[in-house]
Amino acid sequence: MDATELLQGYPVVPVVVIDDVSVSVRLAETLSDAGLNVIEVTLRTDDALAAIRAIAESVPGMIVGAGSIRRPRQFTEAKEAGAAFMVSPGASDALLDTADTLGIPFIPGAATPSEMIGLYERGYRLQKFFPAELAGGHAYLKSVGGPLPEIGFMPTGGITTANAQQYLSLKNVMCIGGSWITPSELQKKSDFDAIRRLATDAAHLGV
């Protein structure tokens, strides 16, 4: 249920929106070659589940997750496609109950201390902090770490190369989610060389 052990040692998780399944395997291979061996494919497009399936089947060693989980049925759909973990921008009793039932690693989202404590009581040592920059940024998370030292976070939203290291330097940040690594304009142009450069730079963060 908790994804802490699964993502241990992976400080940067590319958060990817894939509009065209045909680029998914090449994209995942490029990330893996650059040293990033975890990918979160968000369920925001029609091709997302097919992309998860293609990556899970064709890129050995890549840990594939499904992001933007909003409805219980998406757990089953993503798991059947090959997702090894799930991520949500928030949490609900229905989502948490489904994660309990399926026993799949899940990173629910929280933005307030009350939400964080509630999720910790349900067994979640690793939580998504979203939208990170708009919700208070690294200064907020640093403050939260005082009274809630047992909770780890994966901040996502507004993180770039300019502020990534600030988050990763915090004791309560286990990893960050980064959408800057695979921008849609580079995917549309199939500019995998540019994506590889961004991924290589990201792979050195937190090291």
142 is catalytic: no
Catalytic residue among 40, 80, 115, 188: 40
What is the distance, to the nearest Å, from the Cα of residue 180 to the centroid of all Cα atoms in its chain?
A: 13
CA dihedral 141, 147, 152, 158 (to 10 degrees): -10
128 given a catalytic annotation: yes
Q: From the centroid of its chain, how far is CA 24? A: 16
Catalytic-labelled residue, pool 5, 79, 80, 128: 128
Q: Residue 165: which residues within 8 A CB-CB, separation 6 or more? A: 205, 206
Question: CA angle at residue 147 from 145 to 151, to 5 degrees?
Answer: 50
Q: Tokens 């690693």: give the residue.
A: 105
- Sign, CA dihedral 139-140-141-147, equals positive
Residue 34, classified by CB atoms within 10 Å of its CB into exposed (0-12), middle (13-18) or buried (19+), is buried
Active-site residues, by number, are 40, 128
